[in-house]
């Protein structure tokens, strides 16, 4: 099946009694255990609503198995800790989501795990590997600078050395990028973002091979963090329109990036779909489209709060990937826990804004940005 069809039909559970076309909401926390090999239980990640979501995302990502969590960070932290422990070493990209970066700096040393951050290019990342390295964590495109890394090169290098690779594929979504096809072992999503797509639930997913999922699922059952039935229902509902939403968001984002690039009030635009973007060639080789996120810097370091307040359609919000366009300043939101020096080192400036482009009319969004830029300049 094509991905558009998989979005609608993969994993859906038909109720045998009523024959309804939608998966019912199974709120039960207790199930009959007789004549079953694996009794459903919410903390075991095997209830009907959990299974429906996982099967759909596995189909879209080309994975064999997965688990759905209550947040993206629950998914990422479980995936990492399933393959690294005391005495091991992890290599991570510099430009990771702020929550993942903070997880490493706050927790790894306490757990006896060594770690290194490397620049967002395959050569630097591979050079940081040591004899004790067990996991490599990457993100492409990155949050918030939309940098891309050569996924095939990292995956091939790691596989030769028996190192497990984990990628945060949230910004691309399964519609635009499939890292398992490129050789990556484990794909993580914050389902709160594009997969959920309506800013009304929080979730995370890990999908991988059946072999690697044994370790992930075992740790997940100990830690908990599974997603409830109602949130699973909302997530499965949203996945049915993923192809339509991400397609429109990607088209809109490219138009907006091109507009911003030509505006005198903007000093820099970050979008992998611009032909002069440093990562354009790599992005084109591993992505089907370039996604719905655009970041940009206001010229002369003006007050970003003033700019955001002048927007009429685009809302100030810390999340992303919804049908409505939202904007935030990463320095005071997603990357607030980083020191000013750390933010400067990876390029997250005080004038940087991250725009999550929605499914509205692109022309209306451009007019909104143009209005706000005009008021900031005056």
d(CA 349, CA 345): 9
d(CA 156, CA 142): 20
Token pair for 338: 């980083």
Residue 143: C-alpha distances to residues 111, 269, 319 (Å):
26, 14, 11
> Which position among 43, 159, 221, 261 bears the catalytic label?
43
> Which position among 97, 115, 233, 270 bears the catalytic label?
97
d(CA 323, CA 343): 29
d(CA 225, CA 217): 11
Residue 114 CB coordination number (10 Å)? 17
Told to judge if 97 belongs to the known catalytic residues of this protein, a careful annotator would answer: yes
> Which position among 56, 134, 193, 245 bears the catalytic label?
193
d(CA 80, CA 353): 29
* 169 Cβ neighbours under 8 A, 6+ residues apart: 61, 140, 177, 179, 187, 188, 189
d(CA 121, CA 75): 24
d(CA 171, CA 287): 11
| Torsion (CA) 359, 364, 366, 372 in degrees, nearest 10 | -120
d(CA 129, CA 118): 10
> Which position among 88, 94, 168, 368 bears the catalytic label?
168
Cβ 259 vs Cβ 294: under 8 Å: no
Residues in the chain: 378
Residue 344 CB coordination number (10 Å)? 13
**DSSP letters spanning 127-162:** HT--TTEEEEEEESS-TTT-----HHHHHHHHHHTT
Told to judge if 43 belongs to the known catalytic residues of this protein, a careful annotator would answer: yes
Residue 114: C-alpha distances to residues 100, 117, 129, 227, 360 (Å):
15, 11, 11, 30, 45
Told to judge if 168 belongs to the known catalytic residues of this protein, a careful annotator would answer: yes
Told to judge if 193 belongs to the known catalytic residues of this protein, a careful annotator would answer: yes
Considering only the C-alpha atoms of the chain, give the largest distance between any 2 of them, rounded to a whole number of Å.
73
Active site residues: 43, 97, 168, 193
């Amino acid at each position: 099946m094509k991905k558009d069809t998989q979005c609608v039909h993969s994993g859906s559970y038909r109720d045998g009694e009523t024959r309804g076309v939608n998966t019912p909401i199974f709120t039960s926390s207790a199930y009959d255990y007789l004549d079953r090999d694996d009794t459903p239980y919410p903390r075991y990640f095997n209830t009907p609503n959990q299974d429906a979501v996982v099967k759909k995302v596995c189909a879209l990502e080309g994975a064999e198995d997965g688990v759905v969590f209550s947040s993206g960070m629950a998914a990422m932290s479980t995936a990492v800790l399933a393959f690294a422990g005391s005495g091991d070493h992890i290599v991570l990209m510099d430009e990771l989501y702020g929550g993942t970066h903070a997880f490493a700096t706050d927790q790894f040393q306490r757990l006896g795990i060594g770690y290194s951050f490397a620049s967002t290019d395959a050569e630097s990342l591979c050079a940081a590997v040591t004899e004790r390295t067990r996991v490599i964590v990457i993100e492409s495109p990155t949050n918030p600078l939309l940098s891309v890394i050569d996924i095939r090169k990292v995956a091939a290098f790691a596989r030769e050395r028996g190192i497990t690779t984990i990628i945060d594929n949230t910004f691309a979504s399964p519609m635009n990028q499939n890292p398992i096809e490129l050789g990556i072992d484990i794909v993580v999503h914050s389902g709160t973002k594009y997969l959920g797509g309506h800013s009304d639930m929080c979730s995370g997913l890990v999908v991988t091979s059946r072999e690697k999922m044994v370790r992930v699922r075992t740790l997940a059952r100990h830690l908990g963090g599974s997603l409830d039935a109602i949130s699973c229902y909302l997530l499965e509902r949203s996945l049915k329109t993923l192809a339509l939403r991400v397609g429109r968001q990607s088209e809109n984002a490219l138009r907006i990036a091109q507009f911003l690039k030509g505006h005198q009030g903007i000093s820099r635009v970050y979008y992998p779909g611009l032909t002069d973007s440093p990562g354009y060639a790599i992005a084109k080789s591993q992505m089907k489209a370039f996604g719905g996120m655009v970041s940009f810097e206001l010229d002369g370091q003006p007050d970003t709060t003033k700019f955001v307040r002048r927007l009429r359609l685009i809302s100030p919000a810390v999340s992303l990937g919804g049908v409505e366009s939202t904007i935030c300043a990463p320095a005071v939101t997603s990357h607030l826990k980083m020191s000013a020096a750390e933010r400067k080192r990876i390029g997250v400036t005080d004038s940087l804004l991250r725009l999550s482009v929605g499914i509205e009319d692109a022309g209306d969004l451009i007019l909104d940005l143009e209005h706000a830029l005009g008021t900031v300049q005056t």
